Amino acid sequence: MENKKVRDLQNGDHVKIKLLIFQVNKGITNKGAPYLSFQLQDSTGVMDAKYWNVSDAEINKYKAGMICRFNADILSHNNQLQIRVSSIEVLDRNNEDLNEFVRSSSIGKEELKFKINQVIESIENDTYQKLVKATLLEYEKDFFTYPAASKNHHNFVGGLATHVLGMIEIGEFLCKQYEMLDRDLLLSGILMHDIGKIIELSGPVIIEYTTEGKLLGHISIMQAKLYEIASRMNIDNEELTLLRHMILSHHGAYEFGSPVLPMVPEAEILSLIDNIDAKMNTLEKAYDHVEPGTFTPRIFAMENRSFYKAKNKK
Which domain covers residue 93, as residue numbers? Answer: 6-100
Note whether 96 and 114 are same-domain residues. no
Instruction: Please give the model's pTM, rounded to 2 decimal places.
Output: 0.82
* Pairwise CA distance, residues 188 & 186, whole Å: 5
Q: What is the CB neighbour count within 10 angstroms for residue 276?
A: 13
Note whether 266 and 226 are same-domain residues. yes
Locate all alpha helices (DSSP H) within the chain, ordered by sequence: 109-122, 126-143, 159-177, 183-192, 197-200, 211-232, 238-248, 265-287
Note whether 161 and 204 are same-domain residues. yes
More confident residue, 234 or 31: 234
- C-alpha dihedral sign at 296, 103, 250, 169: negative
The average pLDDT across 76-105 equals: 86
Listed residues 100, 120, 139: the one ending a domain: 100
Q: Residue 162 half-sphere exposure, CB side, CA atoms within 13 Å?
A: 22
- Asked, for residue 164, whether it belongs to a domain, the answer is yes
% of the chain residues with pLDDT over 70:
97
For residue 150, the model assigns a pLDDT of: 67
Given phi > 0 = left and psi -120 to 50 = alpha, else beta, which region is 171? Answer: alpha
Q: What share of the chain is helix, strand, coil (3-state, %, to 5)?
A: 45, 20, 35
Note whether 44 and 188 are same-domain residues. no
The average pLDDT across 233-244 equals: 97
Reported as a pLDDT band with limits 50, 70 and 90, residue 203 is: confident
Which of 89-98, 107-116, 125-134 is least confident? 89-98
Listed residues 100, 133, 160: the one ending a domain: 100
For residue 314, the model assigns a pLDDT of: 65
- Asked, for residue 311, whether it belongs to a domain, the answer is no
Quick check: 83 and 36 in contact, CB under 8 A? no
Note whether 124 and 58 are same-domain residues. no
Note whether 169 and 274 are same-domain residues. yes
Give DSSP secondary structure letters for 188-218.
HHHHHTTTTHHHHB--SSS--B-HHHHHHHH
Q: Is the pLDDT of residue 37 over 60?
A: yes
pLDDT digits (tens, 9 = 90+) for 143-197: 998 888 766 677 788 889 999 999 999 999 999 999 999 999 999 999 999 999 9
Note whether 264 and 155 are same-domain residues. yes
Rounded (5°) CA angle 112-115-120: 115
Note whether 40 and 113 are same-domain residues. no
Q: What residue type is assigned to position 90 of the chain?
A: V
DSSP structure class, residue 33: -
For residue 79, the model assigns a pLDDT of: 74
Note whether 59 and 195 are same-domain residues. no
Which of 70-79, 131-140, 185-194, 270-279 is least confident? 70-79
- Asked, for residue 290, whether it belongs to a domain, the answer is no
- Asked, for residue 300, whether it belongs to a domain, the answer is no
**Count of domains in the chain?**
2
Q: Is the pLDDT of residue 249 over 80?
A: yes
For residue 102, the model assigns a pLDDT of: 80
Listed residues 100, 131, 155: the one ending a domain: 100
Note whether 146 and 69 are same-domain residues. no
How do beta strands 45-51 and 80-90 pair? parallel
Q: Is the pLDDT of residue 1 over 80?
A: no
- Asked, for residue 264, whether it belongs to a domain, the answer is yes
The average pLDDT across 248-252 equals: 95
Note whether 187 and 58 are same-domain residues. no
Q: Is the pLDDT of residue 109 over 90?
A: no
% of the chain residues with pLDDT over 90:
63
Note whether 143 and 60 are same-domain residues. no
- Asked, for residue 95, whether it belongs to a domain, the answer is yes
Q: Which residues contact 304 (CB under 8 A, 6 or more apart)?
A: 298
- C-alpha dihedral sign at 232, 238, 239, 243: positive
- Asked, for residue 170, whether it belongs to a domain, the answer is yes
